[in-house]
Amino acid sequence: MSFKEKVVYQIYPKSFCDANGDGWGDLKGVISKLDYLAELGIDYIWFNAMFVSPQRDNGYDVADYRRIDPRYGTMEDFTLLCKEAKKRKIDIMLDMVFNHTSTAHEWFQKALQNDPKYKNYYIFRKGRKDGELPTNWQSKFGGPAWEYVPALDEYYLHLFDVTQADLNWENPEVRKELADIVNFWREKGVHGFRFDVVNLISKAGYDDDPHAFDGRQFYTDGPRVHEFIKELNMNSFGQDEDSMTVGEMSSTTLANCVKYSGAKQHELSSVFTFHHLKVDYKDKKKWELMPFDFLELKRLLNRWQKGMQEADAWNALFWCNHDQPRAISRFGNDSTYRVESAKMLATALHCMRGTPYIYQGEEIGMTNAYFTDIAQYRDVESINYFQILKEKGKTEADIYHILQERSRDNARTPMQWSKEKNAGFSEQTPWIPIIDNYQTINVENALKDEDSIFYHYKKLIALRKTYKVIQDGDFVAMLEDEPQIFAYRRVYKDEELLVVNNFYDTNANINLEDIKGYQVLLSNYPNSTIMKHMVLRPYESCVFYRKK
Ligand code: TEU
């Protein structure tokens, strides 16, 4: 099976299913839900980082890449999970967090002891003569990107949390260590890898950001990044014919992604990019709200679809992940049209060219958390920004509103399995509160209702496996200036797909010129038919198919 037929399901292990009753999800919990995932029909599970970690950034601060965090289980549990998944034709994708390690990692601890070998694993710099930080760069989680170590009289770089020290990829020993880690997991039978912020690994130099911005121009898609990824590919996953990799690309460009994932580039199979998830950032700022700019969203989706196709490169397709608010609360409607808009967003995404990702809970239409108290938040970024926004003079009411829209914790609440205690997630109080709509929005209800969002996802996955045009068809944008409809065609030999999606809660009229021979493959309303002059109902979404 080509990787173009595959669909990935993302599990945030801490919030998926808790089998041992400590309020944290675990691997045994995942094993108990594999039949559910097999029913959905997915091919891969991507697990968010679940290695030994102090959990300052929920596992993205790795202290030991070769061990499962004991709170998730043991290596035996992992082996059993792989075996049980394989029985259900599900593969595993692990998250390689290679831009940085936790400061609790033994490499960093040795660096702190002034061991020259390990100091060279990280990026240490002297402060400037005037007692200033080495550069004016900002951490992605707020505050400066440099931390002073008095015993060394030097600063280390951390693009993320102060406990996430950036690795020095210029050092060949570091690159060898990281390839060895990938090979350690390959030997356990893992062939899928997601590489966390992998386009930040090559730093161009250490100067002040002249625009006093965050410094990203010095480390995004840096000068040696393609060389480093090619080398990692050659020394590890590239040796497996059936490897499947995806790089998470922060603030990247099309020109670079064509190289990261081009079919003949020997770098990665695909890329996650985020431009389409910034269309509601006012002035490009994450913590400034505005309604999403629909025409910009379409322009970006169309641009990336076409640009990647022309270069034979490959997108990972996603609306949701553990760092993003829930898509239905953001681009859909999580009250009156929850079901319709969830299905519409799913269809719009899954029929495009690329590998679709489903984030846990998306398939049952889970919503944002709408927490009302900072004590309910767990994410280091949200907690930092609560303070930062306060210092900037925003009112508490405004800050809560912003967090309700933007916090990463919106996606991190426990999976809602049933209407039982703690949503069937755990016997214990979970590590983060459950959303109180779990009584109605849960897996048990979804499985009982043949019109549920869950079965819509199941159909979309099945369609991808049946129709070559969904896997491999060319993408052709349509109605590009239409302010309410996202429409496109896919074309493969004599097969054609036509996909129309209404992104709003009002009717929309569209004119379609050539409708001959199209049949409905899927819709989120009863009685959808293709017409020259069509009225799409609120959030209506239809997939039409014809064979010439
Ligand atoms: O995220 C990278 C990243 O830059 C984000 O999406 C981040 O949440 C955003 O910029 C903050 O505004 C990856 C992981 O997915 C994320 O969970 C980690 O926290 C981060 O890397 C550091 O490892």
Query: Which structure tokens are listed for 8?
Result: 């990935």
Cβ–Cβ < 8 Å for 19, 72? no
Percent of the chain that is helix, strand, coil (3-state, to 5): 35, 20, 45
Q: Is the CB of 362 under 6 A from ligand 1?
A: no
C-alpha 453/C-alpha 309 separation (Å) is 29
> What is the DSSP code string of 89-124?
T-EEEEEE--SEEETTSHHHHHHHTT-HHHHTTB-E
**Ligand 1 mean position, distance from CA 101 (Å):** 14
Q: Is the CB of 286 under 6 A from ligand 1?
A: yes
H helical segments located in 120-188:
172-187
> Residue 548 CB: number of other CB atoms within 10 A?
8
Cβ–Cβ < 8 Å for 134, 148? no
Query: Which structure tokens are listed for 18?
Result: 């808790």
Q: Is the CB of 416 under 6 A from ligand 1?
A: no
Q: Whose CA is nearest to atom 7 of ligand 1?
A: 323
Q: Is the CB of 250 under 6 A from ligand 1?
A: yes
Q: Whose CA is nearest to atom 5 of ligand 1?
A: 323
Q: Which of 47, 65, 140, 409 to mutate to test the pocket of ligand 1 (most atoms within 8 A of CB)?
A: 140
How many helices (H) and strands (E) in the chain? Answer: 16, 22
Query: Which structure tokens are listed for 277?
Result: 């998830």
C-alpha 462/C-alpha 464 separation (Å) is 5
**Ligand 1 mean position, distance from CA 323 (Å):** 6
Strand 146-149 versus strand 154-157 pairing type: antiparallel
H helical segments located in 338-449:
338-350, 380-391, 396-406, 443-448
Q: Which of 323, 386, 405, 406 to mutate to test the pocket of ligand 1 (most atoms within 8 A of CB)?
A: 323
Q: Which of 94, 196, 252 to mutate to test the pocket of ligand 1 (most atoms within 8 A of CB)?
A: 196
Position 135 scores a pLDDT of: 97
Q: Is the CB of 542 under 6 A from ligand 1?
A: no
Please state, in angstroms and as integers, the Cα–Cα distance from residue 252 to each residue in 207, 225, 256, 274, following that order: 20, 12, 7, 8
Burial (CB count <10 Å: 0-12, 13-18, 19+), residue 293: middle
Position 1 scores a pLDDT of: 54
Query: Which structure tokens are listed for 47?
Result: 């697990």
C-alpha 232/C-alpha 72 separation (Å) is 28
C-alpha 244/C-alpha 366 separation (Å) is 28
| Separation of CA 43 from chain center | 17
Length of the chain in terms of residues written: 548
> Residue 289 CB: number of other CB atoms within 10 A?
15
Rounded to 5°, the CA angle 463-466-467 comes to 85
Please state, in angstroms and as integers, the Cα–Cα distance from residue 136 to each residue in 146, 159, 218, following that order: 9, 12, 11
Q: Whose CA is nearest to atom 1 of ligand 1?
A: 197
- Residue 495's H or E segment, with its range, is strand 495-502
Cβ–Cβ < 8 Å for 9, 36? no
C-alpha 163/C-alpha 157 separation (Å) is 10
> In sequence order, what are the residues at sequence separation of 6 or more whose Cβ sits closer than 8 angstroms to the Cβ of residue 1?
43
Q: At residue 249, what is the residue type?
A: M
Q: Which of 374, 368, 404 is nearest to 387 (CA)?
A: 374
Q: Write out the catalytic residue numbers.
A: 196, 248
Q: Whose CA is nearest to atom 4 of ligand 1?
A: 250
Mean pLDDT by 10 residues, the chain (548 residues): 88 98 98 98 98 97 98 98 98 98 98 98 95 95 96 98 98 98 98 98 96 93 98 98 96 98 97 98 97 98 98 98 98 98 99 98 98 97 97 97 98 98 98 98 98 98 98 97 98 98 97 95 95 97 96
Position 401 scores a pLDDT of: 98
Position 250 scores a pLDDT of: 97
Strand 519-523 versus strand 64-68 pairing type: unpaired
Strands of 145-235 (E only): list them: 146-149, 154-157, 164-166, 192-195
Radius of gyration of the chain from Cα atoms?
Answer: 23
C-alpha 77/C-alpha 235 separation (Å) is 28
- Residue 510's H or E segment, with its range, is strand 508-511
Q: What is the DSSP letter of 87?
A: H
Q: Is the CB of 225 under 6 A from ligand 1?
A: no
- Residue 100's H or E segment, with its range, is strand 100-102
Burial (CB count <10 Å: 0-12, 13-18, 19+), residue 11: buried
C-alpha 142/C-alpha 438 separation (Å) is 33
Token pair 């590919």 in the structure block, residue:
233
Helices 225-235 and 254-261, axial angle in degrees (round to 10): 20
Q: Is the CB of 196 under 6 A from ligand 1?
A: yes
